[in-house]
Amino acid sequence: MQTKLAFLLLFFLLSSVGTQAQEPKQTEDWSKKPDIVTPGKKFRAPSDALILYRSKKDLAKWQTQNGSEAQWDATMCGMTVNRTGAIFTKQPFGDCQLHIEWRTPRKVVGDGQGRGNSGIYFMGKYEVQILDSYENETYYNGQAGSIYKQSAPLVNASRKPGKWQSYDVIFHAPRFKADGSLDSPATFTVFHNGVLIQDHYILKGPSVFAGYPKYTAHEEKLPMMLQDHGNPVKYRNIWIREL
């Protein structure tokens, strides 16, 4: 018993000496000073962000799939889907932080997937669903804030029709090996109106309407797409930070 107590006492003494001998500066990181970024006010873009839509002139940063000029209705209040087709950013993106505000029509027309439907396709492939999901039932991995047909939102944080809503999204693009096989999958973290609804979700592949998702190798950066699903969804205050 005395031998055991003596051993324990020696152990605690040595542990204490080791801790006291370590200088606090040994765990200080001075390797890379973080860049200075000035935050925006009231959801305005921070100083290092790229503006994708703030005013009518910013429609010029978007184009159709065939490279022609985007034809959505554009005003100082936002740009609106008008059945002229999806629009794509002229600049390609990979890993990013996106802020985007959107509004479904005040007048409710249709139900389920036919009510205020649009979508944000990161890299033109990975969709965060936009839908009027205020008192509107549909399949849960297809409602607002879902990773379409893959992950239902943790909660439904939708506002009433006609009210502006926001998404803040952290997206990490997939990585592929030299032989085209998947190295690491894409991930999404999404806040809807300030509420966490997707918590580092790991995607199974690109968004598909029917069947099961499957990765196919593609470029490290690709244009972002806003979907034209036939409903007059409006967008404003869109900015992005490359990560």
pTM of the predicted model as reported, rounded to 2 decimal places: 0.90
Q: Alpha helices, DSSP H only, in 82-164?
A: none
**pLDDT tens digit sequence for 20-77:** 568 999 999 999 999 999 999 877 999 999 999 999 999 999 999 999 999 999 999 9
Phi-psi region of 123 (alpha: psi -120 to 50; beta: other; left: phi over 0): left
- Tell me if residue 66 falls in helix, strand or coil: coil
pLDDT score for 43:
78
* pLDDT score, position 7: 57
Write out pLDDT tens, residues 158-213: 999 999 999 999 999 999 999 999 999 999 999 999 999 999 999 999 999 999 99
Other beta carbons within 10 Å of 134: 18
Mean pLDDT to the nearest integer, 230-236: 97
> What is the number of other CB atoms lying within 10 angstroms of the CB of residue 97?
16
pLDDT in tens, 122-142: 999 999 999 999 999 999 999
- Domains contained in the chain, CATH given: 48-242 (2.60.120.560)
d(C-alpha 187, C-alpha 200), whole Å: 6
